[in-house]
């Protein structure tokens, strides 16, 4: 009885919003990855889009290598934006209405901008991001991806706690 | 790689589900990611576990059977990338950026979809970062090949 209560408290403490939204969301992301994989054999990641799209405006060899995939990566990203917009339309604000559908972060712009620059550099040097390494790579039991995920996860945890420790909020 | 006419529709439909899933999981909100990284809500573990488990079952099954993808003819394989120190260096730089901003590429695109316009700061930053490393590495490769060919 008491252990059951302690267990419940721990679940409450670590999962204040439950787990269903996370698990369902994750499974949908996984299913989308699988659909592309089954149909095309491609293990799609989200960060290659940055470089493949840059090949439209730059002839640098680093970007040019992605020319063959740049068109479908744009379509994939447009789909991601559209799917999230559909989610917002249904679940944010009034259901099935545009009223209050938009959600806006309170994180300060400089954090988003500086963080974004580092994400852009790091994901491309590190051969993948949370979807490429995290979903496809871990799903492939790739040792490189497992090391990559542990690296960015540990560094991100340290960084976020230092930033919070300095009282930077939001 | 010749493409079937259903190639783009499949990519678009999958992108829609991918983005819907990121919205539904709340990963499109930087605050939720930062709450995860500071141990206030560990729910995001289930996004990565759920996603990689589903993907893993498909990758494992199909790569074992040695089938080809119907829309491209590409063999079903696994995502295996070579390991070198770039994985650690890049992963660390990405980790600092992710921990500071609470946003990663896929979630950033989805964040734009849920109406979070300030995420354009992050997406703009990502393009600048990707561009900077691309210029630097293109030049480095150029120098290396020039050296190796004795020019």
Question: Stretch B71-98: mean pLDDT, rounded?
Answer: 97
pTM: 0.94
Q: Determine whether the interchain pair B130/A50 forms a contact, defined as Cβ–Cβ distance below 8 Å.
A: yes
For the stretch A115-145, pLDDT in tens is 999 999 999 999 999 999 999 999 999 999 9
* Chain A residues closer than 8 Å to B131 by CB: 54, 58, 120
Q: Does B9 touch chain A (CB under 8 A)?
A: no
Q: Does A98 touch chain B (CB under 8 A)?
A: no
* Chain B residues closer than 8 Å to A128 by CB: 81
How much is the ipTM here?
A: 0.94
Question: Stretch A13-38: mean pLDDT, rounded?
Answer: 97
Q: Are A141 and B122 in contact (CB under 8 A)?
A: no
Distance, in Å, from the CA atom of B12 to the CA atom of A170, rounded to the nearest integer, reads: 34
Of B37, B56, B93, the CB nearest to A125: B93
Distance, in Å, from the CA atom of A13 to the CA atom of A53, rounded to the nearest integer, reads: 42
Distance, in Å, from the CA atom of B98 to the CA atom of A164, rounded to the nearest integer, reads: 14
Identify the bridge partners of residue B68 per DSSP, sorted by sequence position.
B75
């Amino acid at each position: 009885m008491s252990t059951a209560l302690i267990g419940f408290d721990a679940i409450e403490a670590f999962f204040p919003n439950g787990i269903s939204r996370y698990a369902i969301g994750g499974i949908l992301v996984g299913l989308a990855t699988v659909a592309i994989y089954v149909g095309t054999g491609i293990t799609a990641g989200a960060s290659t889009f940055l470089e493949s799209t840059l090949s439209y405006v730059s002839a640098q060899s680093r970007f040019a290598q992605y020319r063959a995939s740049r068109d479908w990566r744009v379509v994939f990203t447009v789909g991601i934006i559209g799917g999230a917009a559909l989610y917002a339309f249904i679940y944010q604000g009034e259901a099935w209405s545009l009223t209050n559908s938009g959600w806006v972060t309170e994180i300060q712009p400089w954090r988003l901008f500086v963080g974004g620059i580092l994400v852009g550099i790091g994901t491309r040097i590190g051969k993948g991001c949370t979807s490429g390494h995290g979903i496809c790579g871990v799903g492939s039991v790739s040792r490189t991806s497992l090391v990559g995920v542990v690296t960015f996860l540990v560094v991100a945890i340290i960084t976020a706690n230092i930033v919070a420790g300095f009282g930077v909020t939001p | 790689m010749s493409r079937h006419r259903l190639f783009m529709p499949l990519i678009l439909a999958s992108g829609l589900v991918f983005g819907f899933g990121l919205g539904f999981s709340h990963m499109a909100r930087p605050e939720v990611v930062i709450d995860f990284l500071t141990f206030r809500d560990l729910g995001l573990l289930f996004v990565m576990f759920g996603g990689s488990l589903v993907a893993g079952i498909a990758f494992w099954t199909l790569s074992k059977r040695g089938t080809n993808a119907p829309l491209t003819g590409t063999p079903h394989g696994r995502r295996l990338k070579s390991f070198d120190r770039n994985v650690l260096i890049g992963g660390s730089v990405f980790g600092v950026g992710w921990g500071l901003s609470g946003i990663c590429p896929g979630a950033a695109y989805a964040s734009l979809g849920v109406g979070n316009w300030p995420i354009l700061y992050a997406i703009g930053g990502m393009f600048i970062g990707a561009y900077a490393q691309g210029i630097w590495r293109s030049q480095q490769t150029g120098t290396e090949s020039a050296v190796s060919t004795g020019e």
